[in-house]
Structure 1
Amino acid sequence: MPGNESSKLISIPLLNILAISGSLRAASTNSALSAGLAQNAPTGCRVIVYDGLGRLPIFNPDDEGERTPPQASALIDAVTAADGVIVSCPEYAHGVPGGLKNALDVVSRDAAVGKPAMLVHASPRSLFARAALAEIMRTMSFALFEDTALEIALLGKKPPEVDRILSEPASQLAMHNAISAFTDFIRSR
């Protein structure tokens, strides 16, 4: 009935989440996990996988503002437009890979400030990188969501096995639930 408040549908805006893999490898398990998140996003949420990490120039503060390279501007715009960011990061020599650190430096000014972010992991052994990445992102003023951890052990698996693991109902549910918890965090801010 017109005018009946209970008959009106409540519209919840679509959330856009940017997923960034910290790996440049063609057969990266972290990139596969990022793609899996996009495929298992809950209703009302879209996960967009960023694939420009390897094309970013080395961050140089002298090249900001009007001198910002187009690839860097595209990443800054993508992070700014996203409602949240998910990072899946490998560990190299007990640290964060240089390409991912470079990408974070690119967005470290205004795009990162207060931006909800969540870390996910494709390896149970990446403990040093996890701690370092969390510290870097907190320092850059990301609003780090740490209540729910998603780890799907893909380390050392070949692509067919990675695909099989990510298509298992338990893995799909874990990805769906992690993103759902993250979207609740985003909406509560």
Structure 2
Amino acid sequence: MLNILAISGSLRAASTNSALLAALVRNAPPGCRVTVHDGLDRLPIFNPDDEGERTPREAFRLIDAVTGADGLVVSCPEYAHGVPGGLKNALDWLVSRDAAIAKPAMLAHASPRSLFARAALAEIMRTMSFAMYDGELEIALLGKKPAEMEVILAEPEKVLAMRNAVQGFADFIRSH
């Protein structure tokens, strides 16, 4: 069983990115378990002086989750043509750790307009030595209310797209 950790870069209660990741949990193919990490809102701002023995508990929780996962799926919105601060902060907590090194990672998108954030996030993660999977998942949910998102995410072609994306990522993890 592959354990895939999913992280949403959005802290919004009605986040399209979080809804997409929740749907991945429900629609993971056989042999894959997708778990969503929560807690980005509880991470203190990264400070290198707080590493080592002073690393905050919530940062250790994130580091352990990424370390223990076989792969990582990240979905995030775009804020002012960039990666949201909370997600960048979470990644900063991983920079000096081995958690990211050669860890398979995939990006998932809930908006077709997040092109700047996609490029920036991919660059950040490659720089951190994540092994980036070329396949991406995009299901357009921008501007949808939670009930509308659920209808879209339950459409058979969307379910198939999610299963195929996670299966492709799983194959990448196994071959990596």
Class of the TM-score when normalised by the shorter of the 2 chains: over 0.9
Spell out, residue by residue over 1:98-140, the C-alpha distance to the aligned partner (whole angstroms, 9 max, x if none).
0000001111221111100000100000000000000000000
Is residue 171 of structure 2 the alignment partner of residue 163 of structure 1?
no
Task: Name the amino acid aligned to 2:116.
Answer: F
- Name which of structure 1's ranges 95-104 and 108-117 shifts more when overlaid on structure 2: 108-117
Hey, what's the Cα distance between the residues in 2 that align with 1:104 and 1:98? 10
The AA in structure 2 aligned to 1:175 is M
Q: Does 1:187 align with 2:154?
A: no
Note the C-alpha offset of 1:66: 1.1
Alpha-carbon shift at residue 156 of structure 1 (Å):
0.3
1:53 aligns with 2:2: no
Q: Tell me what 2:117 maps to.
A: 129
> Which of 61, 71, 76 is the equivalent residue of 1:84?
71
Aligned residues: 175
CA shift at 1:65, angstroms? 1.2
Match of 2:108 in 1: 120
What stretches of structure 1 move > 2 A for 4+ residues in a row?
A: none
Q: Report what 1:152 is aligned to.
A: 139
The percent of aligned pairs where both chains have the same amino acid is 77
Shift of 1:75: 0.2
CA distance in 1 between counterparts of 2:2 and 2:90 reads 22
Normalised by the size of structure 1, how large is the TM-score? 0.92
Q: Does 1:22 align with 2:22?
A: no
Displacement of 1:149 in angstroms is 1.9
For the pair shown, the structure with the greater C-alpha radius of gyration is: 1
Pairwise CA RMSD: 0.6
Q: Which residue of 1 aligns with 2:127?
A: 139
Cα-to-partner distance string for 1:6-33 (whole Å, 9 max, x where unaligned):
xxxxxxxx10000000000000000000
For structure 2, the 5+ residue unaligned runs are none
Alignment gaps of 5+ in structure 1? 1-13
